Chain A
Amino acid sequence: MRIEAIGCEPLQLRRVHLENSRSLDVYRRNGGYEAVKKVLDGMSPDDVINEVKKSALRGRGGAGFPTGMKWGFVPKDSPKPKYVVCNADESEPGTFKDRYLMERDPHLLIEGMLIAAYALSAKTNYIYTRGEYRYLIDIMDLALDEARAAGLLGNRILGSDFSCEIYTHTGAGAYICGEETALLSSLEGLRGHPRMKPPFPAVSGLYASPTVVNNVETLTAVPDIIKMGGEAYQKLGTEKSGGTKLWSVSGHVVHPGVYELPMGYDDMEKFIFEDCGGMLDGKQLKAVIPGGSSVYIMRADQIVGKDVRMDYEGLVAAGSSVGSGGFIVMDETVDIFESTKNLTEFYKHESCGWCTPCREGTDWLVKVFKRIDSGDGRPEDAQLMLDLCDNIEGKSFCPLGDAASWPIQSAIKRFPEDFRRRLAKNGDGIS
């Protein structure tokens, strides 16, 4: 597996290949904790937020919401304590970038969180890591101890007036806890059910206090933004999608891995066929899910010769989205009916059960998939699945319902032949 930057100088991946890259010593010798020093030496919290706004950094967890704006929503005059929570509940199928950031460069995350905590005046902060990543929690705990011993955490950090603490927290196997309000429910010791928005976490989050929840990749981008300035960071990418982005590449390519690309990288075909070494065993490209399992699946002919730019706008124009950057490449041997069934079983398993459309809908969808799979598909089944999706999408309590619907809707539309083949015996009804 490869971990490297293509088309840009590595920012977030700068240190991952250094020996002892986890240690404070190596981090400091390679530019580490300079950003937090710069912040404490004379930037106000508002200055920090403004730089992040200028950087056009968008949340890397999947939703792509502008980070500076999210920070700006936290009320300054609230008497309540404020919290920064790092979302390290990386569970979107096809996504594994946060894992390597934490494994190889834990101090980068700590520095990013320190800067966020300073900008938002947060004294207590948590890293919510999925339970399966136990070894990463151990790595983070060691790094936090090192930082504490060096005066980078705790009281009067680096001799300034700023004090704060960061703690690790473990999840226990629930995809839904990657949704920020479900994550906060879980962090409060409850079932991981999403909460009604508004109020948004920025106003009423953890323990009903102002809270910012940011993905690992988002927070680890912050130190470079401070060091080079928001404008310079933005210019590495495009006007609306600043900076660089990590893509987790899996499936049928010669070199799967984590790749750091400038936003707006040109283009997806080159990325697959050159940068990732091309298709495994010389097979034909059939489909790509470019942004984690929840986004629209793309046909090869939407990519090859289509000059698809890899950023938020480029992928929407091409008929999908960036999502979490979980880039799953599938060759001609993959049956899209099968792959969509696999993902629908995932969503059924991970539906938290809180709202009816998602709980019942995903269960029903799996039943229809199984019926078709066993050869008992009915002529109306493809339409039935689309109707079910229509009754989940936009009607569920949180985005998990949308995420469960989009793969099916796009698969039936873009790969009708794979569904027709299964339904051929009794008629397919696909128009």
Chain B
Amino acid sequence: MSSQPTQITRIGPLSQPVSLGVEPATFSSMVEAEIDSHLAKYPVARSAILPLMFIVQRERGYLDPAGVLYLANRLKVRVTDIWEVATFYSMIHTSPIGKYHIQVCRTLSCKIRGAGQVTEYCSNKLGIKVGETTADGRFTLSEVECLGSCGTAPMLQINFDYHENLTPEKIDQVLNALP
């Protein structure tokens, strides 16, 4: 062991601005007020990150780089802080997604009551596979994990709406009724 202190090359702070090549997103005063109402709930602004991400998604279709930059500025955190959270949660979308996100529950209780047929029926009806979006950008089809609708299986969720006890007729009804 040498008595000389080891020379450590200091690594630069991670707070250096990261350029995303875009301007931060802007929102109407109504949306800004909604954002403020969430921030008011917490002693630490960062806690509002998920509620705010949902608002940005609602307003911009998905969490795009301009939205990420906005959140970083608004919450006074680094752009990478926003990305690291965004990429953890399955409901936060960092790439464009269909207007209607059809999420078929695939977990056990639904699986044994016909989830596979629900997925197949939707897939055939829309002409897309799981994970794909229709060419007109209207529908994205996903399989998701347990949505807490096991007693009313099989089920699917479209954006935030639950549709339960599904049959082919009911799926037709639900999809045809979408504006």
Can you name the residue of chain B whose Cβ is closest to the Cβ of A126?
B41
Cβ of B14 under 8 Å from chain A: no
User: Which of B25-33, B87-95, B167-175 interfaces with chain A?
Assistant: B87-95
- In the bound complex, residues from chain A placing their C-beta under 8 Å from that of B51 are 169-170
* Cα(A172)–Cα(B87), bound, Å: 11
B108/A342 in contact, CB under 8 A: yes
Q: Per-residue 0/1 for A67-111: is the Cβ within 8 Å of any B Cβ (1 yes, 0 no)? A: 000000000000001000000001111111011000000000000
Q: Which chain A residues (121-146) contact chain B, with CB distance < 8 Å?
A: 124, 126, 130-135
- In the bound complex, residues from chain B placing their C-beta under 8 Å from that of A334 are 112
How many interface residues does chain B have, given as a range? 35 or more
Given the interface pairs A191-B85, A342-B107, the reply to whether A131 lies near B146 with Cβ below 8 Å is no
User: Which of B122-130, B133-141, B151-159 interfaces with chain A?
Assistant: B151-159
Residue from B48, B50, B54, B146 in contact with A94 in the complex, judged by beta carbons closer than 8 Å? B146
* Cα(A335)–Cα(B89), bound, Å: 31
Cβ of A192 under 8 Å from chain B: yes
Which of B42, B49, B88 has most chain A Cβ within 10 Å?
B88
Which of B53, B145, B148, B157 has most chain A Cβ within 10 Å?
B148
Cβ of A397 under 8 Å from chain B: no
Q: How many A-B residue pairs have CB under 8 A?
A: 141
How many interface residues does chain A have, given as a range? 35 or more
Which of B42, B50, B84, B113 has most chain A Cβ within 10 Å?
B50
Residue from A124, A133, A258, A350 in contact with B145 in the complex, judged by beta carbons closer than 8 Å? A350
- In the bound complex, residues from chain A placing their C-beta under 8 Å from that of B162 are 135
A131/B148 in contact, CB under 8 A: no
A252/B112 in contact, CB under 8 A: yes
* Cα(A96)–Cα(B146), bound, Å: 10
- In the bound complex, residues from chain B placing their C-beta under 8 Å from that of A321 are none
B150/A95 in contact, CB under 8 A: yes
Cβ of B66 under 8 Å from chain A: no
Cβ of B111 under 8 Å from chain A: yes
Cβ of B97 under 8 Å from chain A: no
Q: Per-residue 0/1 for A246-263: is the Cβ within 8 Å of any B Cβ (1 yes, 0 no)? A: 001111100011100000
A and B contact pairs by CB, cutoff 8 A, 23 listed? A1-B152, A81-B43, A93-B108, A96-B150, A124-B43, A131-B50, A132-B147, A167-B42, A172-B90, A173-B89, A174-B88, A174-B89, A186-B50, A188-B47, A189-B48, A189-B75, A192-B89, A248-B151, A251-B150, A328-B109, A346-B108, A346-B145, A350-B145
Using a CB–CB distance below 8 Å, which chain A residues touch chain B?
Answer: 1, 81, 90-96, 98-99, 124, 126, 130-135, 167, 169-175, 186-192, 207, 248-252, 256-258, 289, 293, 326, 328, 330, 334, 339, 342-343, 346, 349-350, 352
